[in-house]
Amino acid sequence: EAQVTQNPRYLITVTGKKLTVTCSQNMNHEYMSWYRQDPGLGLRQIYYSMNVEVTDKGDVPEGYKVSRKEKRNFPLILESPSPNQTSLYFCASGTDAATNEKLFFGSGTQLSVL
Amino acid sequence: ILNVEQSPQSLHVQEGDSTNFTCSFPSSNFYALHWYRWETAKSPEALFVMTLNGDEKKKGRISATLNTKEGYSYLYIKGSQPEDSATYLCAFIQGAQKLVFGQGTRLTINP
């Protein structure tokens, strides 16, 4: 089954404790991206990747890191989480780096930073 | 940051009624417009990807139109059903890779 697998689904952590949210897709997609969803603000792009070893900042990259060492995986790293990073996070992938094809989304990660 | 506006932000519709809502985006350097449907506790799922001015797409009771010259897209739902209750997101692509989402229209269908 074609899917984007995102883990964990829920995460509660404390300020400053490094964490990684994993994202994996089995569709051989070139394009992958991370978004955060906050009430009233829509989905905001954190980072995106057009292919292996190619990553770029989205609109809200501060406090986040990503890597794309393999085509299927695109982890999101929070080196020192802060309470303002409490949010709902989505990973997405697509066939086309130019995104004129639809995106497939993971199931989301609800992160709470205390 | 590109400005993608969706209106209204929320909408309550009686079951059986038809409804529509709007996505407004910059009209310059248009590349593509996506519509997604997002049910609570689930992932957003693609409805349409539209690339040409004048495009009309249809999926069952849901359809969408696109006007790139004036910078808007309409999403229509005919004969609303309770299962249509969701947040509808549009996403605008200007140039390549830069995909920006609107804040969504939250639709509630009252039985």
Tens digit of each residue's pLDDT (9 = 90 or more) over B8-30: 999 999 999 999 999 999 988 88
pLDDT at B2: 67
Residue B41 Cα distances to A106, A108, B36, B53, B111, angstroms: 12, 9, 15, 34, 21
pLDDT at B29: 81
- Mean pLDDT value of segment A36-61: 91
What's the token pair of residue B97?
């890779």
pLDDT at B108: 97
pLDDT at B13: 96
Q: Does A67 touch chain B (CB under 8 A)?
A: no
At A39, is the pLDDT very low, low, confident or very high (cuts 50, 70, 90)? confident
- Mean pLDDT value of segment B49-75: 95
What's the token pair of residue A71?
């085509």
Flag whether pLDDT at A62 surpasses 90.
yes
CB contact under 8 A, B99 and A45: yes
Report the residue of A60, A96, A103, A104 to disrupt the B interface, i.e. the one with the largest count of B CBs within 10 Å: A103
CB contact under 8 A, B104 and A102: no
What's the token pair of residue B41?
């506790």
Q: Which residues of B touch A (CB under 8 A)?
A: 1, 4, 6, 31-32, 34, 36, 42-46, 49, 51, 89, 91, 93, 96-97, 99-104
* Residues near A111 by beta carbon (within 8 Å), at least 6 away in sequence: A11, A12, A13, A19, A21, A81, A85, A86, A87, A88, A89
Tell me the helices (H) and strands (E) count for chain B, helix number first: 0, 11
CB contact under 8 A, B97 and A100: no
- pLDDT-above-90 percentage for chain B: 79
